[in-house]
Homo-oligomer: A and B are copies of this chain.
């Protein structure tokens, strides 16, 4: 494993290896502490597009393994480039770091960067295209909850047209069989080419139908940045609200995930429901990023 540029690189075998490795780091990430496994190693976090959540999670993963971090965030975009190609920037940065985490608003940017890099590259989100470490984070929470990833029935609810995180999770889980129940506003349905072989799909018409019989729910925020028409956004942002009553009635034993931030689609009253796993998943996110860094730097 040289890089992690796309969720499609995450084979079943590799995912399971990372899940098991993440288990071994979970206490370190969660009870907090550090090892010295990556002492002397430097991570460059290049977040051309700011994403505090993903950046701090990745930096913390590196620090908890004893590594160090150099960081460049969004506002330096113009300075980093001055017309320079991403490939040239990668050649430069490869001299400063042992591994690079890159976030960029353009699809394909992580791959372009990796072409110039001589150190491992992690795609931390390249625009609408992909977000493989987020998919690993969600998968790891499912793995911790159910002890497996195979054959799970998951309801994907919300904006499925523009959600790279839903898309990445679907892609990752396509290696594990199972079933996807889809529920979106008509204009935000999952596009056909985002349906992967290996998963059985079912379009749903109501929240009740979507929630019935699922192991887990993956709720996606409707993102204002994809709407030209503000009123259309206002109409759709709270189209499907997962109230505690709906969840307890229709899927009392399910696990509820969300890439966060959640706005209106999950009310605060749900936070202390036993199935609410969206905050708990973040501790696992550090653990699985530790597993990934270890794999990229030491194998």
Q: Nearest CB to that of A279 among chain B residues?
A: B91
Q: Are B96 and A79 in contact (CB under 8 A)?
A: no
Binds B, one of A39-47, A180-188, A194-202, A242-250: A39-47
Cβ–Cβ contact B92 & A260, under 8 A: yes
Decide if A261 is an interface residue (CB 8 Å cutoff). Answer: yes
Q: Which of B40, B63, B84, B282 contacts A263 (CB 8 A)?
A: B84
With contact pairs A70-B63, A96-B57 given, residues A263 and B83 touching in the complex (Cβ less than 8 Å): yes
A132 touches B (CB below 8 Å): no
With A44-B56, A60-B70, A81-B261 given, is the CB distance from A92 to B286 under 8 Å? Answer: no
Contact bitstring A235-279, B, C-beta under 8 A = 1, else 0: 000000000000000000000000011110000000000000001
B74 near A75 with CB under 8 A, answer yes
Q: How many copies of this chain sit in the oligomeric assembly?
A: 3
Query: Are A95 and B286 CB-contacts (below 8 A) given A56-B70, A68-B63, A263-B84?
Result: yes
Q: Is A52 an interface residue (CB 8 A)?
A: yes
- Take A75-B75, A98-B32 as given contacts and tell me if A261 and B91 are in contact as well, using a CB distance cutoff of 8 Å: no
Contact partners of A39 in chain B: CB under 8 A: 34
Q: Please, which residue of chain B has its CB at the minimum distance from the CB of A71?
A: B71
| A283 close to chain B: CB less than 8 A | yes
Q: Tell me if A72 and B52 are in contact (CB < 8 A).
A: yes
Q: Report how far A145 CA is from B227 CA in the complex, Å.
A: 56
Interface string of A62-91 (1 = CB under 8 A from B): 011000111111111001111110001101
A283 to B82, CA, bound (A): 21
Residue of A34, A95, A97, A263 with most chain B CB atoms under a 10 A cut-off: A95
Q: Which residues of A contact B (CB under 8 A)?
A: 29-30, 32-34, 39-42, 44, 50-53, 55-57, 59-60, 63-64, 68-76, 79-84, 88-89, 91-93, 95-98, 260-263, 279, 282-283, 285-286
